[in-house]
């Protein structure tokens, strides 16, 4: 910040007051996370010594720069997700995994279904859509609905937290200014162990909380444990889209973005490479996926209905775009005020591994206010200016911020209630065992992974 000298103590005071205010506004008032982020950004700057005349410019600059890279993608992604919900594509994916993996691997099939489905669909919506499948499998195979449902839930939440173009990690990528293709690749690689270890816990837990669906919709029974029956779930597949069309809107954009990443790294300049690089830019790639979803999954649906469905998806995108932009505004104030550089010097002299900073901040924010998306975006906005001066790979820092958001999902997290209610778990102690412990296992595996990959590749 030119022409202004601010003491380190004042910078720290501004940050502490701003973050404390942010937490208070989100936890104790009716103010939403978006205006809370903007208010916190302004207070952080003013208390931290930034001239009042400059604060507004910092906020608008940070908001605009962040959304310039990811706002359009979020809009495309939620429209695609809504089409997946209404077309039956998600159920088709589940059936495909069930048939491919064979009998007695229903947990793995559901986990993989959640793993793929949650890339364009919010995990809450994905679980609502697919939980009837878990109940049907439980009824037919006599496997506990807990082991099946938790496997599905963890597959959904891990990619929801780690793999763009899901809005949360996409916002984090924008704030850290990292390559989306690299984020996707690393996100997928690191997500798999987190899902598999959590799934093993789900299978163990299903034998301790052995619950099956009853005859009526909201009825649950707990008979003595019995060995599973080999069976294959069948559905009215004539009403579902083909497996090819169900997977294509997700797979095609991911492949295009990864091709873009590889060709960009190779610095090729022939015409074909330039075309593929253009098609693999995240905005274009996700736009192509959306077009494939529109014409491949809704060709039997009237034009008016399809447009209404996409507009329904857009309604859910607005608040995510605003919260992400608000996080960018806070981060910009920290950058321009010099607070980020000052804190970076303090951390560099401490024994704390710098890669853990975004992970810890995200974990703390998650515990305080419940939302994984808000936790990772807030952690990114606070730590990105600091990480930039510590020599840490910003890609791994972004992934660390995303991983931290998985810690101990409990009563202040909407997904906690969605999972437990739809699985018929009513006792608080069991609810914590079913989902709080599961999300924490995924978090712990992620912590070990990020420390390992940062030590090797960072």
Q: Is 161 a domain residue?
A: yes
Q: Which tens digit of pLDDT belongs to each residue from 337-389?
A: 777 667 656 665 677 788 999 998 888 878 766 778 888 988 898 888 888 88
143 sits in which H/E element:
none
How far is the CA of 287 from the CAs of 67, 247, 346, in angstroms? 16, 15, 43
Q: Is 199 a domain residue?
A: yes
Q: Is 3 a domain residue?
A: no
Q: According to the model, what pLDDT value does residue 3 have?
A: 46
Q: According to the model, what pLDDT value does residue 4 have?
A: 52
Helical segments of 142-242, H only: 145-162, 167-176, 180-208
Is 60 exceeded by the pLDDT of residue 2?
no
Cβ(377)–Cβ(63) below 8 Å: no
Q: Is 322 a domain residue?
A: yes
Cβ(220)–Cβ(212) below 8 Å: yes
351 sits in which H/E element:
none
Q: Which tens digit of pLDDT belongs to each residue from 264-314?
A: 878 888 899 999 999 988 888 889 999 999 999 988 889 998 898 888 877
Q: Is 266 a domain residue?
A: yes
More reliable by pLDDT, 343 or 408: 408
Count the neighbouring beta carbons within 10 Å of the beta carbon of residue 278. Answer: 12
Cβ(161)–Cβ(446) below 8 Å: no
Q: Is 48 a domain residue?
A: yes
Cα–Cα dist 400/404, whole Å = 6
Q: According to the model, what pLDDT value does residue 395 have?
A: 96
Is 90 exceeded by the pLDDT of residue 72?
no
Q: Pick the range with the lowest mean pLDDT from 107-111, 211-215, 333-337.
A: 333-337
Q: Is 1 a domain residue?
A: no
Q: Is 13 a domain residue?
A: yes
Cα–Cα dist 106/83, whole Å = 25
Q: Which tens digit of pLDDT belongs to each residue from 92-115?
A: 887 888 888 877 889 999 999 999
- Determine the angle formed by the axes of helices 89-101 and 106-117, rounding to 10 degrees: 140
- CA 383 centroid distance within chain: 18
Is 90 exceeded by the pLDDT of residue 147?
yes
Cβ(406)–Cβ(441) below 8 Å: no
Residues contacting residue 25 through CB under 8 Å, at least 6 positions apart: 31, 35, 36, 39, 40
Q: Which tens digit of pLDDT belongs to each residue from 24-48?
A: 887 788 888 789 889 988 998 898 8
More reliable by pLDDT, 118 or 323: 118
How far is the CA of 199 from the CAs of 203, 231, 431, in angstroms? 6, 20, 16
The pLDDT-based confidence of 240 (bands split at 50, 70, 90) is confident
**What is the chain's length?**
458
- Taking the model in full, what pTM does it have? 0.76
Cα–Cα dist 91/40, whole Å = 42
Cα–Cα dist 248/239, whole Å = 18
| Mean predicted lDDT score pLDDT of the chain | 85
Q: According to the model, what pLDDT value does residue 341 have?
A: 65
Q: Please give the share of the chain, as a percent, with pLDDT higher than 90.
A: 31
Cα–Cα dist 159/179, whole Å = 17
Nearest to 331 by CA among 395, 376, 283: 376
Question: What does 106-123 look like in DSSP terms, one character per residue?
Answer: HHHHHHHHHHHHTTTS-H
Structurally, the chain folds into a number of domains equal to: 1
The parent domain of residue 205 ranges over 8-457
Is 90 exceeded by the pLDDT of residue 399?
yes
First to last CA, the chain: 30
Q: According to the model, what pLDDT value does residue 39 have?
A: 92
Q: According to the model, what pLDDT value does residue 430 have?
A: 93
């Amino acid at each position: 910040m030119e022409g202004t000298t601010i003491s380190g103590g004042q910078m720290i005071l501004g940050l502490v007051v701003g973050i404390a205010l942010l937490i208070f506004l989100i936890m104790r008032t009716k103010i939403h996370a978006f205006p809370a982020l903007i208010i916190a950004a302004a207070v952080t700057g003013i208390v931290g010594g930034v001239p009042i005349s400059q604060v507004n410019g910092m906020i608008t600059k940070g908001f605009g720069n962040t959304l310039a890279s990811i706002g359009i993608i979020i809009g495309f992604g939620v429209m695609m997700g809504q089409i997946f919900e209404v077309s039956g594509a998600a159920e088709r994916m589940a059936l495909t995994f069930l048939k491919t993996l064979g009998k007695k691997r229903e947990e793995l099939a559901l986990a993989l279904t959640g793993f793929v489905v949650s890339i364009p669909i919010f995990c809450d919506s994905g679980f609502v859509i697919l939980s009837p499948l878990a109940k049907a499998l439980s009824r037919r195979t006599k496997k506990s609905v807990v082991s099946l449902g938790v496997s599905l839930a963890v597959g959904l939440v891990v990619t929801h937290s780690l793999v763009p173009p899901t809005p949360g990690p996409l916002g984090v990528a924008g704030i850290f200014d990292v390559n989306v293709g690299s984020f996707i690749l690393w996100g997928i690689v690191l997500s798999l162990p987190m899902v598999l270890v959590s799934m093993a816990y789900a299978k163990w837990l299903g034998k301790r909380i052995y619950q099956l669906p009853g005859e009526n919709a909201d009825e649950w029974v707990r008979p003595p444990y019995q060995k599973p029956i080999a069976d294959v779930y069948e559905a009215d597949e004539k009403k579902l889209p083909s497996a090819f069309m169900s997977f294509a809107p997700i797979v095609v954009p991911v492949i295009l973005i990864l091709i873009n990443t590889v060709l960009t790294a190779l610095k090729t300049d022939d015409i074909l490479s330039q075309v593929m690089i253009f098609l693999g830019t995240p905005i274009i790639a996700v736009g192509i996926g959306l077009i494939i979803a529109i014409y491949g999954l809704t060709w039997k649906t009237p034009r008016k209905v399809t447009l209404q469905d996409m507009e329904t998806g857009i309604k859910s995108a607005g608040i995510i775009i605003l919260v992400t932009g608000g996080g960018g505004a806070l981060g910009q104030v920290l950058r321009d005020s010099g607070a980020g550089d000052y804190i970076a010097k303090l951390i560099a002299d401490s024994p704390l591994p710098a890669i853990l900073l975004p992970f810890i901040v995200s974990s703390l924010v998650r515990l305080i206010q419940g939302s994984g998306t808000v936790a990772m975006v807030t952690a990114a906005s606070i730590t990105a200016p600091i990480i930039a001066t510590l020599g840490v790979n910003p890609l791994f820092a972004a992934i660390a911020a995303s991983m931290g958001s998985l810690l101990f999902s409990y009563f202040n997290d909407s997904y906690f209630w969605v999972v437990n209610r739809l699985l018929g778990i009513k006792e608080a102690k069991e609810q914590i065992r079913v989902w709080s412990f599961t999300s924490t296992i995924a978090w712990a595996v992620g912590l070990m992974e990020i420390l390992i990959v940062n030590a090797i590749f960072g």
